[in-house]
Chain A
Amino acid sequence: MTTVANDRNTDLRVIGKSLPRVDAVGKLIGLTAYADDIELPGTLFCKLLRSHHPHARVLSIDTSAALAMEGVVAVITGVDLPIKYGIMPTSQDEHALENEKVRFVGDPVAAVAAVDEETALAACRVIEVVYEPLEAIESIEHALLPPTDEPIHDYAGPGNIHRMGALEFGEVDEGFAKSSFIREDVFFYEGNTHLPMEQHSAIATYVGDQLTLWSSTQNPHYVHRALSRVFDMPMGHIRVVAAPHGGGFGGKSDPFSHEMAVSKLAMITGRPVKCTLTREEVFYVHRGRHPVLMWVRTGVSQDGKILAMHFRTALDGGAYGSYGPASMLYTGALQTTTYNIPAYRFEGVRVFTNKAPCGPKRGHGTPQPRFALELHLDKIAESIGLDPVELRRRNYVKPYSRTINHLRITSCGIEEVTDQVINASRYHERKKQLGHGMGFAVSSYMCGAGLPIYWNKLPHSECIIQVNRGGVSLYCGATDIGQGSDTVLATVAAEQLGLWPTDIRIVSGDTGLTPVDLGSYSSRVTFMAGNAALQAAKEMRDILVEVVAEKMECSPGDVMVGEGKIGELSFEDAALLAQERLGVLTTRGSYTPPRDIGGKYKAAGVGPSPAYSYSAAVVDLNADPYSGEIRLNKVWIAHDIGRSINSLAVKGQVEGGVYMGLSEAMMEGQLYRNGLHKQPSMLDYKSFTFLEMPEVETFLVDTVDLEGPYGAKEAGQGPLLPVIPAVVSAVYDALGVWVDEVPITPDKIMRALDARAKGREGRYGPKKFPQISYPPIVKVPPFDATSSAF
């Protein structure tokens, strides 16, 4: 790992150091209790009965045989949970247990609480459900046709269309008219799933009008809200605790049926109730990467400047809304944060199908268009005889600029990350050789969504620091899903207070104890919770410094903080002195994104972020022209991190992002056949083992963002993005054929080679983009700095 530092601030003691995570030891010795490890006295075990039909009316449910079984304590159905919920205000379309209609194989219809899992499962199997099957929709194309039976949902529409959008910025037709070269391409990105190692689990208690839920969730606040809605119960009577988390990647961001079911069953039985999903059920819970069909048309000038771009997407949303309205808009939002596109038109549609619902996965809605855009640019570069890196450089956005779709760009290391990987990989010195190739791509990602998921004016993240008898506790709703947010918060506070990160006790992700942080999604925690923690820590530092300055009879500016000391006093003595005077010491911090970071047009809420990270990757591989098999040799990845709070943790995020990008580029796919998930197991849903993973060389570029905590930006999602197109580009470099579809599997590569051998275009991918009746284009006026929505 190489860090490219752009500032001279060498005073920092712990920020940026390569330190172990604060929660490492518990995880290493097996002591950390994940949700399924929690067992309370008298716990009952819950199993969900799930639909066997992709699309059917529920005519009747008979639970009597289950209730009669020995060991069964309670059985519930949709009658017991009649209120719908959903993560987005516009998609309140899920029942915890479906009572009238099921929409995919795996849709829950009943829940059993029993003395053990074995009994609960046996009871589920004797529940009799009578279904009336309906036509099942399995593809985007099918969903665009008028339904023969009935639409999957009775809202949105027409037919099975969930959401559409059509926006234009600048003069697109004019841009194309001025272009000297125009190219169109079609791409398909197969959906895939998060595959967290930990299967989702939740355990609830209901004692004295207080419901408590421990769950492997990324977003305890949103679960809290959903529970309040479903049970029509004040939020003050509900506590949601994000248990130590065994992997999220976006897959534990929605409120889920099993969370509702254990809560209801705890209320009914008065006993703790736990539900842990099986691996197969995790595939049904899904909320993973949307399959997206994409069409892109770009006009460039003679010297390779982009003059106009028209981007169309069609997303297969699966059976429910989930984050879908946002997912759809994200497929069009961030093309502009890497390239200066003076005229841009976006049309998107999300359809419902009878498959497990899609949602956010690492990069939410942006890996698909990034894959398409980067390859499209490669093809344009080749068509006009320009080096693909040079073409991109000619169009890169500039720091502190405004995109055509009104996004505010601040710190931007896109040039630097490009330099790092291009130079280190000797990309331009590679020799043309059949079977060996290199591919390059860049990307950017948000440091947190600029708007909350539901409209409110409250801060996005809040934090309390308490110093009591010399001990420091930091309370924040942020949820450590493995990305290291507890470590980030502890490090930020430690720097201010002159302590070591492990000196700070972190209490996080607990709606009963911590102020709200919206959750671990959109790469928001370092930036937003980090800023909240920084504010609280600075205030605490000021309090301590003032008290010590008084005692030392000097000015506060002369009190040095560091190495466990505040001035002449140890931290503990300083804290006790302050507490003598002031009582228990508490400070708070909060973070709300600035108001001017986005536009005010309808749909402008998706895309704005207080800052964007930038990543570039070069992939080096061998692709066998006789088998299509790929052997990855090395990946160079450079990431504009702003500044690392903990460089070891950042390196881990970057390498993990590279890995996940490679694995989904080459083998992961949430495939369906005959209305069923084709491979709901860890054996058949392929993900990389140690043996597929190549060497990774990481470069961290410090751009020191002016608004990030200590200049920090995100690392959790961005580094995944350039890897996927870089793999496909490298295969083209090696074999001279395009696979315009991921995953790029050996059989697809061979089909492209076969096509070329038969004299056709050396390509595998979708032939055409369907005819879609998008709504009329909304022409958005240019950004007006005086009237932003924020």
Chain B
Amino acid sequence: MLRLPRFSYLRPGSVAEAAQVLSEYGSRAMVMAGGTDLLPKMKRGQIEPEVVISLGHLDELRQIRAVSDGGFEIGACVTLAEVVSSSELRAAYPGYVRAAALVSSPALRNAGTIGGNLCVDTRCNYYDESYEWRKALGFCMKKDGDICRVAPASATCRAIASSDTAPAAMSMQATVVLVGPKGMREVPVASLYQDDGQFYMTKAADEILVSLRMPDPGRWKSSYVKVRNRGSIDFPLAGVAVALQLSGPVVDDCRIIITAVGPQPLDVSHAAQPLLGNRIDDTILEEVAAEAAKPARPLDNADLSYVWRKRMTRRAIEQAVREAAEVA
């Protein structure tokens, strides 16, 4: 049986206490919400904290609250299943809720949290392997080694951004609240990630993501399309979140976020320009998708060929725009 290594398990009584404990232990500790990403990685020796600080039991992180500006604040430890079953959230943010519903399998969504999914580790099939496997190959820079196995010439790790909900949250221009030793700050989800599969998050190691703030959806209609091999369990091979504002059939505004095609989700909304002021038709959509998919850089570190994944990014963009329009 694949087992966890030894660690100490801490169960702080509050977020403040958790933040304090985290700053004490520094890099020797990891916070854990649902554990569905952290625990398999610990079993495979990819992450080796001495201390695991559990957050899942903290009621203050488990609330979905309507806020006065018309948006919602979702606690980091709200499970993906709870998001999926919230009719209010589904009405306001169909793309985000769709993304949550497409994460892994039903049982995993009962444990996996929205905060955990925003922080989900980047993935790579040279990295998501056991200690013995990685030792046999030679380790990679993301853990225990010094080169990128999929792109040996790369100075940075090219593991793949694999959160389904991050692009959906970005498409709504959501923010997250981080709590650290210096107090609390609110940052856009879009600024949480960077183009480095190893250091994929910009938040400081001693900061805890405590909530996701989704702004008033207003006229924004949204969608999320996930490309994967199977209808369940799998991580995205490409993911596209779209938010649209329409006046009748005419597009007023459009945001497009693509993910799983590089180390971070990418805002490619600039490519939607030809749609603005126009009706959605095949020709424009094809042009938009081709432009939007340009920054996609899939590599041979996930399922199926990277050429196909790149092509599917375009298809998924087209589909996501159409679906967002249908929601309208």
- Judged by CB atoms under 8 Å, the answer to whether A and B touch is yes
Known: A105-B136, A278-B1, A280-B130. A747 touches B307 (CB 8 A): yes
Binds A, one of B20-28, B71-79, B165-173, B231-239: B231-239
Instruction: Name A105's closest neighbour in chain B (CB-CB).
Output: B136
Whether A626 sits at the interface, judged by CB under 8 Å, is yes
Q: Which residues of B contact A276 (CB under 8 A)?
A: 1
Binds B, one of A380-388, A685-693, A722-730: A685-693
Whether A684 sits at the interface, judged by CB under 8 Å, is yes
Q: Which residues of B contact A280 (CB under 8 A)?
A: 2, 130, 132-133
CB-contact partner of A676 in B133, B235, B315, under 8 A: B133
Known: A627-B312, A684-B128. A745 touches B133 (CB 8 A): no
Whether B137 sits at the interface, judged by CB under 8 Å, is yes
CA distance A121 to B5 in the complex (A): 11
In the complex, are the beta carbons of B229 and A686 less than 8 A apart?
Answer: yes
Interface string of B297-321 (1 = CB under 8 A from A): 0000001110110011001000000
CB-contact partner of B304 in A50, A51, A680, A746, under 8 A: A746
- Nearest CB in chain A: distance from B146 CB, A: 17
In the complex, are the beta carbons of A750 and B231 less than 8 A apart?
Answer: no
CB-contact partner of B2 in A51, A279, A678, under 8 A: A279
Interface string of B256-267 (1 = CB under 8 A from A): 000000000000
In the complex, are the beta carbons of B137 and A674 less than 8 A apart?
Answer: yes
Interface string of B227-252 (1 = CB under 8 A from A): 00111111100000000000000000
Known: A680-B129, A746-B308. A667 touches B230 (CB 8 A): yes
Instruction: Name B230's closest neighbour in chain A (CB-CB).
Output: A689
In the complex, are the beta carbons of B230 and A747 less than 8 A apart?
Answer: no
CA distance A690 to B234 in the complex (A): 13
Q: Which residues of A contact B182 (CB under 8 A)?
A: none
Whether A224 sits at the interface, judged by CB under 8 Å, is no
CA distance A21 to B311 in the complex (A): 48
In the complex, are the beta carbons of A747 and B125 less than 8 A apart?
Answer: no
CA distance A159 to B264 in the complex (A): 48
List residues 77-95 of chain B with CB under 8 A from any CB of chain A.
none
Whether A301 sits at the interface, judged by CB under 8 Å, is no
Q: Which residues of B contact A677 (CB under 8 A)?
A: 133
In the complex, are the beta carbons of B315 and A692 less than 8 A apart?
Answer: no
List residues 1-24 of chain B with CB under 8 A from any CB of chain A.
1-3
- Nearest CB in chain B: distance from A462 CB, A: 37
Q: Which residues of A contact B2 (CB under 8 A)?
A: 278-280
In the complex, are the beta carbons of A117 and B3 less than 8 A apart?
Answer: yes
CB-contact partner of A691 in B130, B132, B232, under 8 A: B232
List residues 196-235 of chain B with CB under 8 A from any CB of chain A.
229-235
Whether B135 sits at the interface, judged by CB under 8 Å, is yes
In the complex, are the beta carbons of B233 and A683 less than 8 A apart?
Answer: yes
CA distance A108 to B312 in the complex (A): 41
Interface string of B107-149 (1 = CB under 8 A from A): 0000000000000000001001110110111000000000000
Centre residue among B129, B130, B132, B307 by max chain A CB count within 10 A:
B132
CA distance A746 to B229 in the complex (A): 9
In the complex, are the beta carbons of B233 and A667 less than 8 A apart?
Answer: no
CB-contact partner of B136 in A53, A678, A688, A692, under 8 A: A53
- Nearest CB in chain B: distance from A228 CB, A: 30
Centre residue among B128, B129, B230, B304 by max chain A CB count within 10 A:
B230
In the complex, are the beta carbons of B315 and A627 less than 8 A apart?
Answer: yes
In the complex, are the beta carbons of A689 and B233 less than 8 A apart?
Answer: yes
CB-contact partner of B315 in A121, A278, A626, under 8 A: A626
Q: Which residues of B contact A105 (CB under 8 A)?
A: 133, 136
Known: A50-B132, A750-B308. A676 touches B232 (CB 8 A): no
In the complex, are the beta carbons of A688 and B130 less than 8 A apart?
Answer: no
Instruction: Name A691's closest neighbour in chain B (CB-CB).
Output: B231
Q: Which residues of A contact B137 (CB under 8 A)?
A: 674, 676
Interface string of A643-678 (1 = CB under 8 A from B): 000000000000000000000000100000011111
In the complex, are the beta carbons of B305 and A747 less than 8 A apart?
Answer: yes
CA distance A278 to B45 in the complex (A): 15
Instruction: Name A747's closest neighbour in chain B (CB-CB).
Output: B308
Whether A628 sits at the interface, judged by CB under 8 Å, is yes
- Nearest CB in chain B: distance from A610 CB, A: 40
Known: A117-B3, A679-B125. A750 touches B311 (CB 8 A): yes
CA distance A688 to B233 in the complex (A): 10
Interface string of A622-637 (1 = CB under 8 A from B): 0000111000000000
Instruction: Name A121's closest neighbour in chain B (CB-CB).
Output: B3
- Nearest CB in chain A: distance from B240 CB, A: 13
CA distance A659 to B130 in the complex (A): 29
- Nearest CB in chain B: distance from A348 CB, A: 30
Whether A303 sits at the interface, judged by CB under 8 Å, is no
Interface residue range, chain B: 20 to 34
CB-contact partner of A686 in B1, B3, B135, B230, under 8 A: B230
Instruction: Name A276's closest neighbour in chain B (CB-CB).
Output: B1
- Nearest CB in chain A: distance from B242 CB, A: 18
CA distance A745 to B304 in the complex (A): 8
- Nearest CB in chain B: distance from A129 CB, A: 12
CA distance A107 to B192 in the complex (A): 43
CB-contact partner of B231 in A118, A675, A689, under 8 A: A689
CA distance A552 to B304 in the complex (A): 74
Whether A600 sits at the interface, judged by CB under 8 Å, is no
Known: A117-B1, A678-B125. A683 touches B136 (CB 8 A): no
CA distance A117 to B4 in the complex (A): 11
CA distance A152 to B215 in the complex (A): 63
Interface string of A263-307 (1 = CB under 8 A from B): 000000000000010111000000000000000000000000000
In the complex, are the beta carbons of B303 and A686 less than 8 A apart?
Answer: yes
CA distance A51 to B137 in the complex (A): 11
- Nearest CB in chain B: distance from A50 CB, A: 7
In the complex, are the beta carbons of A52 and B132 less than 8 A apart?
Answer: yes
- Nearest CB in chain B: distance from A632 CB, A: 12
Q: Which residues of A contact B136 (CB under 8 A)?
A: 51-53, 105, 675-676
CA distance A626 to B2 in the complex (A): 41
CA distance A105 to B128 in the complex (A): 17
Instruction: Name B5's closest neighbour in chain A (CB-CB).
Output: A118
Q: Which residues of A contact B315 (CB under 8 A)?
A: 626-627
In the complex, are the beta carbons of B233 and A747 less than 8 A apart?
Answer: no
CA distance A162 to B303 in the complex (A): 32
Q: Which residues of A contact B235 (CB under 8 A)?
A: 683
Q: Which residues of A contact B234 (CB under 8 A)?
A: 683, 686
Interface string of A3-38 (1 = CB under 8 A from B): 000000000000000000000000000000000000
Q: Which residues of B contact A679 (CB under 8 A)?
A: 125, 303
CA distance A750 to B315 in the complex (A): 13
Q: Which residues of B contact A118 (CB under 8 A)?
A: 3
- Nearest CB in chain B: distance from A261 CB, A: 17
In the complex, are the beta carbons of A667 and B229 less than 8 A apart?
Answer: yes
- Nearest CB in chain A: distance from B115 CB, A: 22
In the complex, are the beta carbons of A628 and B308 less than 8 A apart?
Answer: yes
CA distance A676 to B125 in the complex (A): 12
In the complex, are the beta carbons of B135 and A691 less than 8 A apart?
Answer: no
Q: Which residues of A contact B308 (CB under 8 A)?
A: 628, 746-747, 750
Known: A279-B2, A676-B136, A676-B137. A747 touches B231 (CB 8 A): no
Q: Which residues of B contact A51 (CB under 8 A)?
A: 136
Q: Which residues of B contact A680 (CB under 8 A)?
A: 129-130, 133
Q: Which residues of B contact A689 (CB under 8 A)?
A: 230-233
Top 9 A-B pairs ranked by shortest CB distance? A691-B231, A747-B308, A52-B136, A747-B305, A689-B232, A747-B304, A105-B136, A686-B229, A278-B2
Residues of A within 8 A of B (CB): 50-53, 105, 117-118, 121, 276, 278-280, 626-628, 667, 674-681, 683-684, 686, 688-692, 745-747, 750
Can you name 14 A-B pairs with beta carbons within 8 Å? A105-B136, A118-B3, A280-B133, A627-B312, A674-B137, A678-B125, A683-B128, A683-B233, A684-B128, A686-B303, A689-B233, A745-B304, A746-B304, A750-B308
**16 more A-B residue pairs beyond the given contacts A52-B132, A690-B232, with a C-beta to C-beta distance below 8 A:** A105-B136, A117-B1, A118-B3, A276-B1, A278-B130, A627-B311, A627-B312, A680-B129, A680-B130, A680-B133, A683-B233, A683-B234, A686-B303, A689-B233, A691-B232, A692-B230
